[in-house]
Amino acid sequence: MRKAVLVTGASSGVGLALCKRLLEEDHELHLCLACRNRSKAEAVRAALLASRPLAEVSIVQVDVSDLQSVFRASRELKQRFQRLDYVYLNAGIMPNPQLNIKALFSGLFSRKVIHMFSTAEGLLTQEDKITADGLQEVFETNVFGHFILIQELAPLLCHSDSPSQLIWTSSRNARKSNFCLEDIQHSRGQEPYSSSKYAVDLLSVAVNRNFNSRGLYSSVVCPGTMVTNMTCGILPPFVWTLLMPIIWLLRFFANAFTLTPYNGTEALMDLDEDTAEKFYQSLLELEKHVRATIQKRNHQS
Ligand SMILES: NC(=O)c1ccc[n+]([C@@H]2O[C@H](COP(=O)([O-])OP(=O)(O)OC[C@H]3O[C@@H](n4cnc5c(N)ncnc54)[C@H](OP(=O)(O)O)[C@@H]3O)[C@@H](O)[C@H]2O)c1
């Protein structure tokens, strides 16, 4: 049976590169592009099918910052699919990012320079706004809309005989210090993106606790720092081009600079369930062997 994979935010950046790579690995996949903009999704679908004609590529229109849209898309998906094997929860925003120039210059001459560049800690603030649902936009897009999506799709995801996987695109910018249980939407702070990515990390742990027994597993992955529409909101593309030689040098010290969306998908692709299961079986074998050796040694002495 064809594997069914849903990718949110498939219209650009990491999501788009991921779709290409998924089809390179399995030509017969049923890939469903979950995008808010139908015409962009149609163009992506046509491009993917041009290089992989055997694949089945469909579209579901969903705006994860609009709960009505999430409910409608979930209903549509439940009519179309019996199950979803993988769901990549990747759509995300970092609206109106402001670079803290003072922090940048003081960081440049400190021992934390590599850490600062690879995590953007203390470098970025954003201007958030309220959505039509009355929620903070960054929280709703990056976290809550996806949470509702998986709650609604539970019947397609929870099969204890053959597990499904959720893979979240998180970020090194996720900071516990920016997240607060009393203000989970980060309505009072200036780093909603960092808070939302920490919330994603927490949510993944909670999903594992609450859904593993029902056959649903969740992981978070940081794709590294790449030049995409999102990062071009922080600095214009020509500045990224000028910075490229420096970033290439920094790559010797911090592999977080993945530079291109294609490289950024590496970690998302690496979470292979079969390899994980084989690895687990090897560990069990090794454990058996080590226990037997210890027992033998104890018996002899
Ligand atoms: N770029 C980096 O260096 C970096 C680093 C760490 C983590 N990430 C994470 O990687 C993920 C992908 O980002 P990217 O860098 O590939 O940026 P991108 O090119 O801007 O892609 C973002 C994707 O999310 C979609 N999206 C945004 N808001 C949406 C909404 N309300 N409903 C549905 N889809 C929505 C966008 O759709 P449209 O095309 O319609 O706008 C686009 O497909 C994000 O979760 C981001 O936080 C990126």
Average pLDDT, the chain: 91
The minimum-distance atom of ligand 1 relative to the CA of 233 is 20
Which residue is closest in CA terms to ligand 1's atom 47? 92
Decide if pLDDT at 139 tops 80: yes
Query: Distance (Å, rounded) from C-alpha 58 to C-alpha 20?
Result: 14
Of 261, 230, 227, 223, whose CA–CA distance to 241 is shortest? 227
What is the 42 CA–ligand 1 centroid distance (Å)? 17
The per-residue pLDDT for 150 is: 96
Lowest model confidence (mean pLDDT) among 3-7, 66-70, 103-107: 103-107
Give pTM, 2 decimals.
Answer: 0.90
Q: What are the pocket residues of ligand 1 if the criterion is a CB atom closer than 6 Å to any ligand atom? A: 8-9, 11-15, 36-37, 40, 62-65, 90-93, 141, 169, 171, 222-223, 225-226, 228-231, 261
- Residues 172-181 pLDDT 10s: 999 999 999 9
Q: DSSP character for 136? A: B
Catalytic status, residue 193: yes
The minimum-distance atom of ligand 1 relative to the CA of 226 is 3
- Residues 181-192 pLDDT 10s: 999 999 999 999
- Residues 264-289 pLDDT 10s: 887 787 766 666 677 678 878 888 98
What is the 40 CA–ligand 1 centroid distance (Å)? 14
Decide if pLDDT at 254 tops 80: no
What is the 289 CA–ligand 1 centroid distance (Å)? 46
Task: Among 6, 12, 149, name the best residue to mutate to test ligand 1's pocket (greatest count of ligand atoms within 8 A of Cβ).
Answer: 12
The minimum-distance atom of ligand 1 relative to the CA of 37 is 40
Catalytic residue, from 86, 88, 193, 198: name it.
Answer: 193
The per-residue pLDDT for 264 is: 85
Contact at 8 Å (CB) between 160 and 154? no
How many alpha carbons fall within 13 Å on the CB side of residue 75? 5
What is the 66 CA–ligand 1 centroid distance (Å)? 16
Contact at 8 Å (CB) between 189 and 136? no
Q: 88 forms bridges with which residues in the sheet?
A: 7, 167
Contact at 8 Å (CB) between 184 and 136? no
What is the 10 CA–ligand 1 centroid distance (Å)? 8
**How do the residues of the chain divide into helix, strand and coil, expressed in percent and rounded to 5?**
55, 15, 35
